[in-house]
Chains A and B, each alone.
Chain A
Amino acid sequence: MLALCDLGLVLGLLFLSTPAMGSCLDNYQELLGQLQKQADFMQHTSMLLDPYISIQGLDKDGLKEHCRERPGVFPSKDALQRLSRQEFLQILNTTLGHVLHRLRTLQKDIPKAQDLEKLNIAKLNIRGFKNNIHCMAQLLPGSLEKTEPTPTGPGASPSPTPISDAFQRRLEGCRFLHGYHRFMHSVGQVFREWGQSPSRSRRHSPRRGLRKGTHRTHLSSRNKRLMPRGWLPR
């Protein structure tokens, strides 16, 4: 029953805005509200982390303490807040792309169809979220080319460094999911700040997107610094 409710909520959130159907909401506030809600929803550990810990038997004292995000894998909240809106959206889009890829590799370690269904819902959610990011980027002045809508099929993505050790692999997967939920929490807070500063402060000012020339160079170097460890920016 809970799973059904979750599914309904996810689908509701996804289809309230319709970028997946080829068109975007042109209402900034409405789209921002959608992104906030979706980020808030995706931060819940019950979506991915909790089932993963249970499935992999990591819910033991002395073990679950090690299921914590590794620093540097996901951008910190401070780092996200320092970004301009365009930069933020681009980082978000890229990071979620990597998350999608990583989820596909984690899928192999999930035995039950019921849990797989949860994972698939999470992937669907991320795809919809990426589409909304694309729509938001188009609403901002100086839209970014890199925040393209998510293709419906599995996209090519750099594979993480293979870890042959199953134990280490599942521990890393757990840490990754922990980081993912934390990251989405930070994303939600940043979006909330967007909503609280309608004047569009300098830090998140969309106008900075207009200064393409100087900004592009600066953005490029910053993005490299913020890229998750082991991943290459597209």
Chain B
Amino acid sequence: MALFSAFQTTFLLALLSLKTYQSEVLSEPLSLAPESLEVSIDSARQCLHLKWSVHNLAYHQELKMVFQIEISRIKTSNVIWVENYSTTVKRNQVLRWSWESKLPLECAKHSVRMRGAVDDAQVPELRFWSNWTSWEEVDVQSSLGHDPLFVFPKDKLVEEGSNVTICYVSRSHQNNISCYLEGVRMHGEQLDPNVCVFHLKNVPFIRETGTNIYCKADQGDVIKGIVLFVSKVFEEPKDFSCETRDLKTLNCTWAPGSDAGLLTQLSQSYTLFESFSGKKTLCKYKSWCNWQVSPDSQEMYNFTLTAENYLRKRSVHLLFNLTHRVHPMAPFNVFVKNVSATNATMTWKVHSIGNYSTLLCQIELYGEGKVIQKQNVSVKVNGKHLMKKLEPSTEYAAQVRCANANHFWKWSEWTRRNFTTAEAAPSEAPDVWRNVKSVQGHCVVTLFWKPLSKLQANGKILFYNVVLENLDRPSTLKLLSIPAPANGTELTLDRCSYQIHVTANNSVGTSPASVIAVSGDPGNKEVEEERVKGTEDGFCLSWKPQPGDVTGYVVEWCERPGDPLCDLQWKNLGPNTTSTVVSSDAFRPGVRYNFRIYGISTERIPYLLEKKTGYSQELVPSDNPQVLMSNLTSYSFTLSWKDYAAESQPGFVQGYSLYLKSKAARCLPGSEKAVLSDDSICCKYKIDNPKQKTFVVENLQPASFYEFFLTPYTSVGEGPQGAFTKVTTPDEYSHILIRIILPMIFSILLIMILCYLKSQWMKEKCYPDIPDPYKSSVLSLIKSKENPRLTIMNVKDCIPDAIEVINKQEGTRKSLTETEPTKPTYLYLLPTEKSHSGPGPCICFENFTYNQAASDSVSCGHVPVTPKAQPSQLGLLTSSENVPKALGKNYVNSLGEIPAGETNLNYVSQLASPMCGDKSSLPTNPPEPALCSEYKTQMAIPMGLASPPSITLLDEGEHDH
């Protein structure tokens, strides 16, 4: 009962309280109007910040309220913004609300008022608006200062593509203000007489330092402006991804967007938020962030990456299971073990990624840069893989990487190891061929072998063993070891038959033997050579199959045919092969290659089957033959070029072309008209037989001029253009003349020879030798008288008292050289006084000058020159006709004036043999020998020096030489 009484009391009190409350609310309308409204501005952000409170709420009372806010511009009636702001209100709580103006706040006066209403379902009856607050005015212009012009907003930062409103505020009414954006005038709307507004739409990015917008007054130097910093669009992060390598740390990466492009980079922040755990971290770096995995085995992660700058915020999301994003660490402790010639084992370890995780590992084997084996292996901790079918003595590289086998995400990095397999014995016999020559009764065998390929050698070949087995004496073996890298050897054998075994050896073992036999009988029968035509692909050779047992065929050729080391090549072919294509990079156009095809008998003895020759590409002849012409007649001549080596030409010579030029308009039979490279026309003879080396050009015209030129031709064309040889056919009667003239010439020659043979006889008859004064009988006469005073005088001793000299006039001398040279002149020195102071009577021989030219002239006699009337001059007779006259006068007279007993002998010097016909011109009275005689030296004067107009008589001293 007491309990019931207490409960009833409590209920009544509560009801009373409620009644009281209701009576208060209903009795007088609650004044839940916003109070203490304050408005502040943020010019940089162009924001109005409102701050108010509601005072009339009960203590601890919370009500949902809505506030209606009106913003007017310039005047209160011009309401530009109305917004209802709902929030929960407590008693005396300061409420805040912001509004961003499109128009810079400095451009116009703004006014703000508001009213409130309860918007709470608990008290639906209170849903009515309170009274408006009074207008709160925001007038920034009044605090701008006294500058004549302002432009707003200052240093605004926007994204490209944004719309921006700009205004200027002018203090002067008189000035016209014009505004420009980067030098381009803008047109705006007048907000009031002092304020003009410009609406810029979709502003572009111009430069890092911002866009210049400025306004100028017409008068004065007033300029004001702003810099509008236009940034590039802030992009969201790309390729956002998270992964773990050890299940302890998550590494999240992304590609940040492009830079804002501004000089002052907008600070960007990157935040990582995980929604399941509610954790958040601010990333230090702009492209990656680490996240510690929670130890409570959280599997699912839902990340939000938020990139933010001053202007924009962008987010990307990522939801994943941790075990699906495992990127294993690279395998470690990787080794290649048990490396043999063909096998190797690779072992490695992996980092564990959980107790139950299995890793899938991939092994790749590289040989010569290529993947040759690829294998996948499941691994818990330790991995092992056997690599088979390896090549001996080969370098390999093995690498391994791993990934989560259950949920593949990414492979780990490769871990790589290199190794080389061991060597093995060579697997193939060397390819051997031989060249056999017979030298001085011995058989000189040159063995060639090709080096084994890497796959065949299985290691480094150290040496080759050559075993010579004498087939006639099977017990006789000879072993030669030839160190590598030799590729052949020369053996001198006797006439016996040999079988030669060649093996290649490396450090492990020996290759199979290559066997070739040398027969005592060379057996090289004469085989006719055939021509083959080469192509770009090589020479296609074929041969007749051989009856009987043939173990194979060998084709042999020289790659450098002109070289003494001809670089012998060969090609082994099977017994069923009868054709092959021989190709080589060494084949050159214009070179003749000779191929020999051998059959290999069962005894391994090669025997020559066929010979082929050909060019890989024929060329035109490189030179023309030297052509000799013979048998020239009035109607024909013969050409021959037997020395021409057609085999050395860079193609098979198929014949010759003879070009003949003549004045005749028509070509002779057997020839045809041809046009030469110089557009001249001639006749062409074609000689189809390459072996023909002579040609007779017939049907020519006598006494005609011809030109000919001969050139060989191959299948490609003719030889080089050369010079034409000229020939003129003789006249038809010239041979008759020759029959007459030749005997005449012969007869004349015969007579001349006879004359020459009889010349001694003629000389004796025509001009006998001049006696030597020293051998003269006069000397013997003197000696016989034994007169010591009588001796041969020296020049010094012989002082002529007077000399009669014949003066030679210049004109006279000139006439000598110009007139007939066959008339020689002679000079005589004649004494003119009888008395002299000499030692006694003597004979003087004196010739003052001698004209060499005159002596060389065809003169066969000497003409004495008679002294003339003028004694101091020498004179020359210009004609033999004068000789008798001279002799008739002075010469004879002089002789007559010489007194007896004092007779001086005047000797005439002999210059040349007189002509037979001039014999009569000799002096009729030859001088007689005297007691004293002297012969003075003759002085030769060259023609050039023999030109003085007069010859002065030399004195005594000048005569002495």
Contacts and interface: CB of A to CB of B under 8 A. Distances in A.
Interface of A: 55-58, 60-63, 66, 109, 111, 164-168, 170-171
B226 A165 contact: yes
Interface in B195-236: 206-214, 216, 221, 223-227, 229
A111 B263 contact: yes
A61 B182 CA distance: 9
8 contacts: A56-B212, A57-B210, A63-B212, A109-B209, A165-B154, A165-B226, A167-B225, A168-B224
Contact of A164 (B151, B154, B180, B183): B154
A214 to B, nearest CB: 42
B263 A57 contact: no
Interface of A is mostly: loop
B212 A111 contact: no
A85 B331 CA distance: 79
A165 B144 CA distance: 13
B225 A62 contact: no
B155 interface: yes
A111 B211 CA distance: 14
Contacts of B225: 167-168, 171
Nearest to B263: A111
A167 B212 contact: yes
Nearest to B183: A60
Contact of B209 (A57, A60, A66, A164): A57
Given A166-B227, A167-B224, 8 more contacts: A55-B207, A57-B210, A57-B212, A61-B183, A109-B209, A166-B210, A166-B229, A167-B212
Contact of A171 (B182, B211, B213, B223): B223
B172 to A, nearest CB: 18
A138 B79 CA distance: 74
Interface of B is mostly: strand
Contacts of B226: 165-167
A19 to B, nearest CB: 36
Contacts of B263: 109, 111
B183 A63 contact: yes
Contacts of A57: 182, 206-207, 209-212
Nearest to A55: B209
Nearest to B207: A57
A222 to B, nearest CB: 30
Contacts of B210: 57, 166
Contacts of A63: 180, 183, 212, 214, 223
A58 B206 CA distance: 13
A66 B183 CA distance: 13
Interface string B150-169: 01001100000000000000
A136 B829 CA distance: 113
Contacts, number: 59
Contacts of B229: 166
B45 to A, nearest CB: 15
Contacts of A62: 180, 183, 216
A71 to B, nearest CB: 12
B210 to A, nearest CB: 7
A56 B212 CA distance: 8
Contact of A166 (B155, B180, B182): B155
A72 to B, nearest CB: 15
A167 B168 CA distance: 14
A117 B8 CA distance: 92
A171 B155 CA distance: 14
B209 A111 contact: yes
Contacts of A164: 154-155
B223 A165 contact: no
Nearest to B212: A57
A165 B180 contact: no
Nearest to A68: B221
Contact of A170 (B151, B183, B211, B227): B227
A60 B212 contact: yes
B212 A165 contact: no
Q: Which of A55, A164, A166, A168 has the most CB of B within 10 A?
A: A166
A157 to B, nearest CB: 23
A161 B183 CA distance: 28
A171 B207 CA distance: 17
Contact of B208 (A60, A111, A167, A168): A111
Nearest to A61: B183
Given A57-B209, A166-B155, A66 B182 contact: no
B738 to A, nearest CB: 90
A171 B216 CA distance: 14
B180 A60 contact: yes
Given A55-B209, A60-B212, A66-B223, A165 B183 contact: no
Contacts of A165: 154-155, 226
A207 to B, nearest CB: 44
A60 B209 CA distance: 15
A63 to B, nearest CB: 6
B183 A167 contact: no
A22 B53 CA distance: 72
A65 B221 CA distance: 10
Contacts of A170: 209, 212, 227
A167 B224 CA distance: 8
A116 to B, nearest CB: 11
Contacts of B212: 56-58, 60, 63, 167, 170
A226 B225 CA distance: 31
B216 A166 contact: no
Contacts of B155: 164-166
B154 A60 contact: no
Nearest to A112: B208
A167 B227 contact: yes
Interface string B868-910: 0000000000000000000000000000000000000000000
Contacts of B207: 55, 57
Contacts of A111: 208-209, 263
Listed from nearest, the 6 A-B pairs whose CB atoms lie closest are A60-B183, A166-B227, A167-B225, A111-B263, A111-B208, A166-B155
A60 B179 CA distance: 13
Nearest to B180: A62
A171 B151 CA distance: 15
B87 to A, nearest CB: 36
B875 to A, nearest CB: 99
Given A57-B212, A66-B223, A111-B263, A166 B206 contact: no
A28 B649 CA distance: 89
Contacts of B151: 167
A66 B214 CA distance: 11
A55 B263 CA distance: 11
A167 B227 CA distance: 5
Given A109-B209, A111-B209, A60 B223 contact: no
Nearest to A66: B223
A220 to B, nearest CB: 34
A60 B212 CA distance: 10
B283 to A, nearest CB: 26
B182 A60 contact: yes
A191 B225 CA distance: 40
Contacts of A60: 180, 182-183, 212
B154 A166 contact: yes
A165 B213 CA distance: 12
Nearest to A165: B154
A170 B182 CA distance: 14
A161 to B, nearest CB: 15
Nearest to B223: A66
A218 to B, nearest CB: 36
A50 to B, nearest CB: 15
Nearest to B154: A165
Given A111-B263, A167-B214, A167-B225, A56 B209 contact: yes
A52 B866 CA distance: 124
A165 B212 CA distance: 12
A166 B210 CA distance: 10
Nearest to A64: B183
Nearest to A166: B227
Contacts of A55: 207, 209
